[in-house]
Amino acid sequence: MRLALIGQQAFGKAALDAFRERGDTVAGVFVAPEKPGAKPDPLHARAQELGIPVFQFQRYSSPEAQAAIQGLDVDIGVMAYVTQFVPQSFVKTPKHGTIQFHPSLLPAHRGPSSINWPIMLGKPETGLSIFRPVDGLDEGPIVLQKRIPIGPDDTLGSIYFDRIFPMGVAALVEAAVLVLSGRAVEQVQDETAATYEGWVRDAESRIAWGQHVDLVYNLIRGCNPQPGAWCMLGERRLQIFDARKITAQTFGSVKGLKLGEVGPVSGEGFQVHAQGGFVEVLRCRIDNGAKVAGKDAGIAAGTILI
């Protein structure tokens, strides 16, 4: 097939390589403009290395962007990790339209941070969707979906890098083949089942030690490695990454410990009391320092985290 790839970062680069390995022609690559001083985008760099035309537009609604996609004369457009708004005038230009990747089981978890939220909410399953982009956010008909179980100790990192990333690249190729062969069966999304969550930022990633240990642990898992669940260590900010949940029977105190109080400190890390047990912190960061093992953080038993 002859395609235009719209995307960025490592995921976009992997998609580019996957189509080329099949023998497909990537006629052009569209990437978001880089900020001054930023590292070269991996997709941008790979396309340049291969001699593929690269286009960068502040707005895909511009006449220049429309002329670029028309001039490529492609069979299909493939959107692999796109954060800019792409209008219908652009996505409908290829002969077979455009498909887009989204890392959730649509219509659930529309919007950004869609990998974080299922983990943070304690769900046993997530997935990915390949769909037809429309002007509404992640609302178009679904071409293909893949389901992915979430284990009790999975993190954002393990779900994305080990499963969603490789499965998503393969699914984009599979969906493009289905569309071009006329075998794609598109399903309209059920709006009654739709959910939308915004970015997971400071407000969403702050730990409340008064909550049940299950909720605290899910938050930490869903924010590891980005943006990092956090709390306050006196006047300093403590981010928690790798951790372990320890369940214990408690109604608010364990051996006199307050909620948020550091209890036992072991050779691996330190334990923090929450409702129903402890979170053992195995890797953390204080303020803007380096990530360190919990045992090396210098946080003593009796310290109160808030």
- The per-residue pLDDT for range 263-295, each reduced to its tens digit, is 999 999 999 999 999 999 999 999 999 999 999
- 165-198 per-position pLDDT tens digit: 999 999 999 999 999 999 999 999 999 999 999 9
CA separation, residue 21 to residues 18, 26, 69, 145, 186 (Å)? 5, 11, 23, 23, 26
pLDDT at 255: 63
Which phi and psi angles does 118 have, rounded to 5°? -60, -35
Q: Confirm whether 2-193 and 203-296 share one CATH topology.
A: no
Structure tokens at 263: 């209890």
CB atoms within 10 A of CB 101: 24
What pTM value is reported for the model? 0.94
CA separation, residue 245 to residues 91, 148, 175, 221, 225 (Å)? 46, 22, 39, 10, 17
pLDDT at residue 251 greater than cutoff 60: no
Domain spans in the chain, listed from the N-terminal domain onward: 2-193, 203-296
CA separation, residue 159 to residues 7, 38, 173, 209, 300 (Å)? 21, 27, 20, 25, 32
What is the CATH architecture of 203-296?
Answer: Roll (3.10)
In CATH, what number does 2-193 get? 3.40.50.170
Q: How confident is the model at residue 2 (pLDDT cuts 50, 70, 90)?
A: very high
User: To the nearest whole percent, how much of the chain has pLDDT over 90?
Assistant: 94
